[in-house]
A and B are shown apart, each in its own frame.
With several copies, the nearest count.
Chain A
Amino acid sequence: MNGAAQDLYDRQIVERARNPLYAGELPVPDLQGEGRNPLCGDRTRLDITLEGHHISQIRHRTRGCALCIAAADMLAERLGGCGLEEARAVGARFSAMLVAPDDPAETTVQKAAKRIENPPEGIPSLGGMEPLMAVRFHKARIRCVELPWVALKEALAHVRV
């Protein structure tokens, strides 16, 4: 495949989509959430168990494209063991990165690279999810990697932290 596609369909992403590590369900989840894209029928369901104010386990059932599956799996990986507050903060950062407004002085690639590599102080890192940020340059696909985060939001909607 050609250069920029390689960026988006990074080997890590494609591998993760083919062999997700966190696919499946949990027998007795404490929280559940679902994200749907009615325009293409894609869907992610999250099962979450808690230990106090921490996420202990996450599993996802995803019907979607490679980006969506990888995003769900990477979410599960990143947030396992996380505090609920931190989980929300990671989600906020993830969304903000996806739609960050353009700074015309920089090339888009420079800009994204900078923001991804140097998160401002106190802001949680995206960890292994960074390869997903290439989707910034494929606007129509942003919805695909956001879907698991929509599911997370639903799951956390009724939990007070």
Chain B
Amino acid sequence: MNTDRTLKAAPAGKLDVQAVRAQFPILSETVHGRPFVFLDSGASAQKPAVVIDCMADAMRHQYANIHRGLYWMSERTSEAYEAVRGQVAAFLNAPSHEEIIFTRNSTEAINLVAHSLGSLMKPGQAVLISEMEHHANLIPWQMLRDRSGVELRVAPITDEGDLDMEAYGRLLEDGKVALVAMTHMSNVLGTVTPAREIADRAHEAGALVLFDGSQAAVHRRTDVQALGADFYTFTGHKLYGPTGIGVLWGRRALLDDMPPFLGGGDMISSVTFEKSTWANVPHKFEAGTPAIVETIGLGAAIRWVESIGFDAIEAHEQALTAYALEKLADVPGLKVVGAPKQRGGVISFTMADVHPHDIATLLDRNGIAVRAGQHCAEPLMRRLGLHATTRASFGVYTDTHDIDVLAETLARIRDFFV
């Protein structure tokens, strides 16, 4: 290796990558005797010390079950928990903190809508997704279709990996689509979808729109009102936050009309054996003891991300992605999958004659973590005519050194096989 992390300047923007990296304890680990090079943030991001410490501090100094508790520890913990709702609302520019529902992850958020809004849909109506959905935004709608007779439509993508807007428009034409559920950023192609246009067309056709923001919310400022969204989901562990916590945002009027999803404590207004009535949103959708400490940790993660700022994050990741595309182009036999109009920090590729599994294992032996396989997007793989790809994905702590090591090691792996 002739690249030296400490001597390199940050690639672009005002973000001081080395200062950022210093806040992630895990990035100083070694793997197989090599410095750990983490290029799988798209699957789950690492956690800065402030998030880890915030969770530990809560459990050390200020913890009790929330709501209902008439004592100091419970009131303080409830306040800390509810304050994160406000933070998330501001993070998404949602009109009200009461529209923020905490779930386990993005998957549960989408399932919640599929069950609750889904129970109001009728045969003859349709849900429209795209060819590039993660299974999390496909299977819940398939299950709804099989449960209730709602039709499931799939909007095609172009060979570049963009949503085919003409075909999308045609699929909306008959006015049967009740909900468009679409990714805001593909976890395989990196495609950032034209959310505003998708939403406008959906609304013109009388459909609601849900964006799966699991990837998008990490890389760019999200403004659910500017996007024209009706529902938006994201997941804490990809946003440098804890596992076990995700978010569903929905417009108040919709959430008010939707029946609850899970039943239990804290989501009721009154209960008899004959009949129960429900609490107001958001509590109607949060049954049982929530992921209290994880929610507080998500608050710390959002505070941390905002302290860096999305201007710097986006500039950094865009520069880095451009750098990576260039570097990878030099690796013999390597082909990047897709060329979307707008790409977040995710690059999938194939390398002639070398299977993604072999690439991933050999990269790992050199300390480099990437993902290989179908990336929970099996139908997209089929659409692309591929069985699997290798994927490198970037976070706020990724630097050009990581990319250099990746490209060099890929070239050596290729030599090893050819």
Q: Which A residues form the contact surface with B (CB < 8 A)?
A: 1-2, 4-5, 8-9, 14, 18, 38-42, 63-68, 138-141, 144
Asked whether any CB of chain A lies closer than 8 Å to the CB of B269, the reply is: yes
Kindly report which residue of chain A lies nearest to residue B68, judged by CB atoms.
A39
In angstroms, Cα B365 to Cα A42, docked, is 22
Query: Given the complex, which residues of A lie within 8 Å of B417, measured CB to CB?
Result: 14, 18, 66
Asked whether any CB of chain A lies closer than 8 Å to the CB of B335, the reply is: no
Query: Given the complex, which residues of A lie within 8 Å of B413, measured CB to CB?
Result: 1
24 A-B pairs within 8 Å (CB atoms) are namely A1-B362, A2-B34, A5-B362, A5-B365, A8-B365, A9-B416, A14-B416, A14-B417, A38-B268, A38-B269, A38-B277, A40-B387, A40-B388, A63-B387, A64-B355, A65-B357, A65-B358, A68-B355, A138-B75, A139-B75, A139-B79, A140-B69, A140-B70, A140-B75
Query: Given the complex, which residues of B lie within 8 Å of A8, measured CB to CB?
Result: 361, 365
Query: Given the complex, which residues of A lie within 8 Å of B69, measured CB to CB?
Result: 140
In angstroms, Cα B387 to Cα A42, docked, is 7
In angstroms, Cα B33 to Cα A50, docked, is 49
Contact A4 B68 (CB under 8 A): no
- Shortest beta-carbon contacts, A-B, top 10: A5-B365, A41-B387, A65-B355, A65-B357, A38-B270, A40-B373, A65-B358, A40-B388, A140-B70, A66-B358
Asked whether any CB of chain A lies closer than 8 Å to the CB of B366, the reply is: yes
The contact of B373 among A5, A14, A39, A139, by CB within 8 Å, is A39
The contact of B357 among A1, A18, A40, by CB within 8 Å, is A40
In angstroms, Cα B361 to Cα A138, docked, is 8
In angstroms, Cα B357 to Cα A144, docked, is 9
Contact B373 A2 (CB under 8 A): no
Kindly report which residue of chain A lies nearest to residue B70, judged by CB atoms.
A140
Query: Given the complex, which residues of B lie within 8 Å of A140, measured CB to CB?
Result: 68-70, 74-75, 78
Query: Given the complex, which residues of A lie within 8 Å of B291, measured CB to CB?
Result: none
Query: Given the complex, which residues of B lie within 8 Å of A1, measured CB to CB?
Result: 362, 365-366, 412-413, 416
Chain B window 247-285, contacts with chain A (Cβ cutoff 8 Å), 1 for yes, 0 for no: 000000000000000000000111000000100000000
Asked whether any CB of chain A lies closer than 8 Å to the CB of B374, the reply is: yes
Query: Given the complex, which residues of A lie within 8 Å of B357, measured CB to CB?
Result: 40, 42, 64-65, 67-68, 141, 144
Asked whether any CB of chain A lies closer than 8 Å to the CB of B171, the reply is: no
Contact B32 A4 (CB under 8 A): yes
In angstroms, Cα B327 to Cα A107, docked, is 40
Given A1-B365, A66-B358, A68-B357, 5 additional A-B pairs, CB 8 A: A1-B412, A39-B373, A41-B388, A138-B75, A140-B70
In angstroms, Cα B74 to Cα A20, docked, is 31
Query: Given the complex, which residues of A lie within 8 Å of B78, measured CB to CB?
Result: 139-140
Contact B374 A40 (CB under 8 A): yes
Kindly report which residue of chain B lies nearest to residue A8, judged by CB atoms.
B361
Asked whether any CB of chain A lies closer than 8 Å to the CB of B319, the reply is: no
In angstroms, Cα B374 to Cα A74, docked, is 27
Closest Cβ of chain A to B67, distance in Å, is: 9
In angstroms, Cα B358 to Cα A141, docked, is 9
Query: Given the complex, which residues of B lie within 8 Å of A38, measured CB to CB?
Result: 268-270, 277, 378
Asked whether any CB of chain A lies closer than 8 Å to the CB of B308, the reply is: no
Asked whether any CB of chain A lies closer than 8 Å to the CB of B43, the reply is: no
In angstroms, Cα B33 to Cα A125, docked, is 34
Contact B361 A141 (CB under 8 A): yes
Kindly report which residue of chain B lies nearest to residue A69, judged by CB atoms.
B355
Asked whether any CB of chain A lies closer than 8 Å to the CB of B381, the reply is: yes
The contact of B374 among A18, A39, A138, by CB within 8 Å, is A39
In angstroms, Cα B357 to Cα A94, docked, is 21
Closest Cβ of chain A to B399, distance in Å, is: 22
A2 in contact with B32 given A8-B361, A9-B362, A14-B417 (CB within 8 Å)? yes
Contact B374 A41 (CB under 8 A): yes
The contact of A2 among B356, B365, B387, by CB within 8 Å, is B365
The contact of B381 among A18, A41, A66, by CB within 8 Å, is A41
In this complex, which of A18, A41, A67, A141 has the most chain B Cβ atoms within 10 angstroms of its Cβ?
A41
Query: Given the complex, which residues of A lie within 8 Å of B416, measured CB to CB?
Result: 1, 9, 14
In this complex, which of B34, B69, B372, B388 has the most chain A Cβ atoms within 10 angstroms of its Cβ?
B388
In angstroms, Cα B318 to Cα A96, docked, is 47
Query: Given the complex, which residues of A lie within 8 Å of B388, measured CB to CB?
Result: 40-42
Kindly report which residue of chain A lies nearest to residue B372, judged by CB atoms.
A40
